[in-house]
A and B are shown apart, each in its own frame.
Chain A
Amino acid sequence: GQQLNQSPQSMFIQEGEDVSMNCTSSSIFNTWLWYKQDPGEGPVLLIALYKAGELTSNGRLTAQFGITRKDSFLNISASIPSDVGIYFCAGQNFGNEKLTFGTGTRLTIIP
Chain B
Amino acid sequence: DAGITQSPRYKITETGRQVTLMCHQTWSHSYMFWYRQDLGHGLRLIYYSAAADITDKGEVPDGYVVSRSKTENFPLTLESATRSQTSVYFCASSAYLEAFFGQGTRLTVV
Q: Which residues of A contact B (CB under 8 A)?
A: 1, 4, 6, 31, 33, 40-45, 48, 88, 92, 97-104
Which of B35, B58, B90, B99 is close to A97, meaning CB atoms less than 8 Å apart? Answer: B99
In whole angstroms, how far apart are the Cα atoms of A102 and B35 in the complex?
Answer: 13
A103 with B97: in contact, given A41-B104, A42-B103 (CB under 8 Å)? no
Which of B45, B90, B98 is close to A98, meaning CB atoms less than 8 Å apart? Answer: B45
A103 and B101 contact, CB distance less than 8 A: no
A41 with B40: in contact, given A92-B97, A97-B94, A98-B58 (CB under 8 Å)? no
Q: Which residues of B contact A (CB under 8 A)?
A: 31, 33, 35, 40-45, 48, 50, 58-59, 90, 92, 94-95, 97-99, 101-104
Number of A-B contacts (CB under 8 A): 52
Contacts of B95 in A (CB 8 A): 97
B41 and A45 contact, CB distance less than 8 A: no
A42 and B90 contact, CB distance less than 8 A: yes
Kindly list 4 other residue pairs between chains A and B, CB separation below 8 angstroms, not including A98-B48, A99-B99: A40-B103, A44-B101, A99-B33, A103-B42
A1 with B59: in contact, given A41-B104, A101-B43, A101-B44 (CB under 8 Å)? yes
Q: B93 — nearest CB in chain A belongs to which residue?
A: A97
A48 and B45 contact, CB distance less than 8 A: no
